[in-house]
A and B are shown apart, each in its own frame.
Chain A
Amino acid sequence: MNDVTKTSPAAEEPTTAKVASETRSRRWPAMSVLSALFVVLALLPLGISGSYYMHVLILMFVYIVISSSWRVVSISGQFNIAIGAFFGIGAYAAAIPSVWLHWSPWITIPLGAVAATILGAALAFPFARLRTIYYAMGTLFLGYVVINLITAGGKTTGMSTGLGGVESLFTSRTHYYYLTFGLMIISMLCMYRFEHSRIGVRMKAVSQSHQVAASVGIGERRNRILAVAFGSFFAGLMGAVYCHYQGVASPASYGLAATLWIIMYVLVGGINSFWGPAIGVGILMVIPEFFFRDLKGDLPYVTAAILLIIAFTMPEGIVGLLKLTRDRVFARHRKKKEVSPDAVGD
């Protein structure tokens, strides 16, 4: 947040209380937008009956949680290109018992989340040795391996066509809407608390310099594995819910392309902000689906155009732009601090 405003070196260390009051005073526009959105989304099923829009919104809730969970992993400095695999592990861990053992969805959904967490932690362990681009490439490859293993699983996993016939949780789409909406809010609250807790601060320390972090007793490996386990819990949870909703788990939804799009949501929204992933999903998923639906096969061009515009004009994503605007508006009321628009620009 402070990288947008340039302070003079003398005023580098404001007191905690001052910072807190300042952030609080600058937070109200975001908070009011958020509560308005909450009310609108909670009442929306009463207004729209069109099941297609409902479907897009359910997808949106699922992807908001998954991309936020990716960002939680990334605050510990890990550019994890395997999140789709954890999403898929959650889905298959729920789908296989549901299809072959006829377990109730109320058991398989938590099972999916737990399986993704355990496997996430186990797989994060060897990768905790790798950093920066080595980590990115290694995890990219890990995602590929997981999808390959799922595909090679024979009849149990349904090979490359996917495992169909997963038992549905509800018959009505409205119920799914409220389920995913509720899960999204709970997950977002958990992730917000996680990021702003002592553990979250430790992870940011590890991300900035693992040597300095180690010198004050913050273990790098422990924190990084914890971040992956925490992130994959939510990815797995949503994978399980999503496969019960779709009735099918297919490897194509969890491969490299899926993972890269999840990362794109985060980057479009802004990787440095908690609300970035949610905004990114809103922009990249809702705009093409709601406004450019007639284009059908040409739809990817719209998405690509959005990506290019963001990459060229907003290096910090949409949130970067919003912060810049907010700081300009608030700069009128403040005299001491100078706002330098160059700090973010390219």
Chain B
Amino acid sequence: MELAIQTVINVILLGVVYILMGMGFAFILNLLGVFNLAHGAIFVSAAYGCYLMVVKLGLPGFVAFPLTVLVSAAFGVLVERFLFRPMKADFNRVMMVCIALSTILVTTFNRFLGTRALSIPPFIPGTTGFGSYKVDTDRILAFGIGIVILIAIIVFVDRSRWGARMQAVTQNKEGAALQGIRFGQIASLACAVGFGLAAIGGVFMGSLYNLTPFIGDVTLIKVLMLVILAGLGSFNGIFYVGALLGVLYGALPVFLNGAVVDALASVMVLALLIIRPKGFFGHE
């Protein structure tokens, strides 16, 4: 029974993290046309940044977490302005810039923190639960924060003026420009939101699982899997497919060992991709 509760919570948490990461990636891809291969590196950097703030500077988790997200968002604005914008969405050059960026970030953390597995200390230590069923308080907290952020993002995209502008740019860049929407501003905003969401995902994963410089690549692949399956240009799809991936990667390890899970899940996704190349919710 305890295993079942743990599994359900794992599934939901993984799902939330994948959805957040996938949303961030999709924002950048849809609005800027940038295939952001540095997304995994941003994710790892944010996790390490939060780790450094908590462990080295001794900040409490409730300060370090928002600070990491804000710094990442600001970093996103800088990256958009000085790395993505001069490339004019040229696929090849953007790819070079992204790989240079992720190489620099990952090498820096490798050099100064080593490759051993670290973990962000829990924000609230201990467990909660009723009777004999106990769950880490931190996981419940992460779950709550994740849900709140997801709802905030939906409200932001669907109801706010800036969200409407972003949707307009996604639909038609020139048309949006004619209505007085500045592409530069929207691109900066998209990058800030994208990097901020990656940072949230990074802190979650860093505090709930182990943190090594290599989790970036693995997460990037999962994000791509999510975006491919959901279909490019679809925000709704990301929610459903994120939940699906959460189930695959949260529940399958209970029955099988890690390498087999990866192989099995990826073969399943590949099969789906061959049947429906545009993804479940994709449209051109």
A residues in contact (CB < 8 Å) with B: 79, 126-127, 129-130, 133-134, 136-138, 140-142, 144-145, 148-149, 151-152, 159-160, 255-257, 260-261, 263-264, 267-268, 271, 297-298, 300-301, 303-305, 307-308, 310-312, 315, 346
Contacts and interface: CB of A to CB of B under 8 A. Distances in A.
Contacts of A79: 91
A93 to B, nearest CB: 18
A141 B217 contact: no
Contact of B99 (A134, A137, A255, A260): A260
Chain A's interface: helix, strand, loop or mixed, by majority? Answer: helix
27 contacts: A133-B232, A134-B228, A134-B278, A137-B228, A140-B224, A141-B273, A142-B270, A148-B259, A151-B263, A152-B259, A256-B221, A257-B217, A260-B95, A263-B95, A264-B96, A267-B93, A271-B92, A297-B107, A297-B110, A297-B111, A303-B100, A305-B100, A307-B99, A307-B100, A308-B96, A315-B90, A346-B86
Chain B's interface: helix, strand, loop or mixed, by majority? Answer: helix
B16 interface: no
Contacts of B169: none
B266 A144 contact: yes
Given A137-B224, A138-B277, A268 B96 contact: yes
Contacts of B106: 300
B274 interface: yes
Contacts of A129: 277
Contacts of B100: 303-305, 307-308, 311
Contacts of A151: 259, 262-263
B225 interface: yes
A260 B216 CA distance: 15
Contact of A149 (B93, B99, B267): B267
Contact of B270 (A141, A260, A264): A141
Contact of B260 (A137, A152, A261, A267): A152
Nearest 6 pairs of A and B residues by beta carbon = A152-B263, A307-B100, A304-B100, A311-B96, A300-B107, A148-B263
A137 B227 contact: yes
B38 to A, nearest CB: 11
A308 B97 contact: yes
Given A144-B266, A152-B260, A303-B103, A134 B92 contact: no
A148 B262 contact: yes
